[in-house]
Amino acid sequence: MIRIEKIYPGDQLSLDPRESAFGYGMGIFETIQITEGQLQFWSRHWGRLRSSALQLFSHDLSPADESASLEAIKEYYLSLGQKDLVLKLSLIVLEAGPVLYVYSRERLGSDTSSKLCLNWTHPINENAVHVGHKTHNYFENISLLKEAKAADYTDYLRVNTKSEICETSVGNCFFVKGEQIITTPTESGLFPGVIRDVLLEFVPIETKRLLMEDLRLMDGCFVTNSIVGILPILEIVGFSDESVLSFSKSSREKINEAEAILKTIAISESINLL
């Protein structure tokens, strides 16, 4: 079984800098929402963590590991006495064996701009080794997110090396065109988020590659990740001709429908920690 360690606010963690997890960011993580004592989409998060652990570290997380992890999460959550929490799970493989850390992070302030900016400078490598895995090698993502927010954007809208629309620094993108909802495929180099998977499973959505000329034809846009759920976007800037793509209010109906479905599924797939 894996070793599980709970890290409480104010605790200090000791890690040998010679470990690959420290030196090279060789670890994987999940960020999970806990709302009113409900651990959201646990099976999906655990399944993704398990898949990455097997593919990247050749370590198969067992049902006993899952049960022990859930128990540790419950103990951690109840000890903090909070209703809402952003839970973090990090799995690293040390010389002594695999360790799962259970901890939390501060909830970021809500976005007020709801504006994306196209970023051409740092394209996503759709052929990278870590594509499809949420690794600790996350410096690029966080650096770009901070840069975007400093410029008063919600995030950057990133392209891949083929100039195809991909995703933001920390979320998946969906676009509304008339009655259609469209998102880009995993082959574009995006990270397949849990909320993205839920929507693809329960909402009629077309998956296809999008180029810049396709983007200009869209009527609406929203971003998803496990913490914001669904975030409607008002406009996209950063086009080469300095134009601004503003979205019509009519697209909100399709977005609201997706939000309602997501809320229902979140309730049905939650684990009560209370």
pLDDT of 258 reads 97
Over the stretch 46-70, which tens digit does the pLDDT of each residue have? 999 999 999 999 999 999 999 999 9
211: phi then psi, degrees, rounded to nearest 5 = -100, 175
pLDDT of 249 reads 84
Is 1.10.3470.10 the CATH classification of the domain at 115-265? no
252: phi then psi, degrees, rounded to nearest 5 = -65, -25
Collapsing DSSP to helix, strand or coil, 127 comes out as: coil
Q: Tokens 């909402």, residue?
A: 203
Residue 82's pLDDT band (cuts 50, 70, 90): confident
Neighbours of 147 (CB within 10 A): 17
Contact 161, 126 (CB under 8 A): yes
Q: How many percent of the chain have pLDDT more than 70?
A: 98
* CA 245-249-255 angle, 5° bins: 95
- Do the domains spanning 3-105 and 115-265 agree at the CATH topology level? no
Residue 250's pLDDT band (cuts 50, 70, 90): confident
Beta bridge partners of 175: 182, 221
What global pTM score does this model have? 0.95
Over the stretch 210-242, which tens digit does the pLDDT of each residue have? 999 999 999 999 999 999 999 999 999 999 999
Residue 217: CA count within 13 A, CB half-sphere: 10
Amino acid occupying residue 143: S
Collapsing DSSP to helix, strand or coil, 12 comes out as: coil
Cα–Cα distance measured from residue 268 to residue 214, given in angstroms and rounded to the nearest whole number: 35
Over the stretch 196-213, which tens digit does the pLDDT of each residue have? 999 999 999 999 999 999
Domain coordinates in residue numbering, the chain: 3-105, 115-265
Residue 159's pLDDT band (cuts 50, 70, 90): very high
Q: Which residues contact 138 (CB under 8 A, 6 or more apart)?
A: 25
**What does CATH list as the number for 3-105?**
3.30.470.10
Gyration radius of the chain's alpha carbons: 19
Taking each helix axis from N to C end, the angle separating 42-57 and 63-80, rounded to the nearest 10 degrees, works out to: 130
Residue 112 has pLDDT above 80, yes or no: no
